[in-house]
Structure 1
Amino acid sequence: MLESQDQPVGIVTGIAGPLWLTVELTGVAGHAGSVPMPLRRDALTGAAEVITGFHQAVKEAGGSAVGTVGNL
């Protein structure tokens, strides 16, 4: 298509290789006032730790690596 329009042709030096993962975290519901902090198992708190760890791992990978958490 580019050649037929007399446009410059680019040379591919890399491609995107998307990888989609689904992770399920399960917590335990507890009333905000009656469950002491050491006994809580909040799934969202765990998810925040996983997302932060993932973000850090992608940054440390360097190069052209990118990552995102699109849904929660």
Structure 2
Amino acid sequence: MLRELGLDVEKYYSSEIDKDAIWVQLHNFGDQIIHLGDVREVTSAVLDDMGEIHLLIGGFKTSHRMRKNLSQNYL
């Protein structure tokens, strides 16, 4: 989506822990991703090392049942 909007992604940080979501990230962005692991374990030192962040996107965890329902409804 970011590429489609013409936005250049210099660095892609991810704190994803879901294996399926990580696979999608790897498929879409390959070696551009810097995996940070569990967001609950990201420290202020890690954030300081990252430098300036121009865009932060977050979401909530969905249950397996909700993902199944969403895929069945083509959402």
Higher share of residues assigned strand: 2
Shorter-chain TM-score: which interval?
A: under 0.3
Higher relative contact order (CA 8 A, sep 6+): 2
Normalization by structure 2: what TM-score?
0.23
Structure-1-length-normalised TM-score: 0.24
Larger radius of gyration: 1
Which structure dedicates a bigger proportion of its chain to helix?
Answer: 2
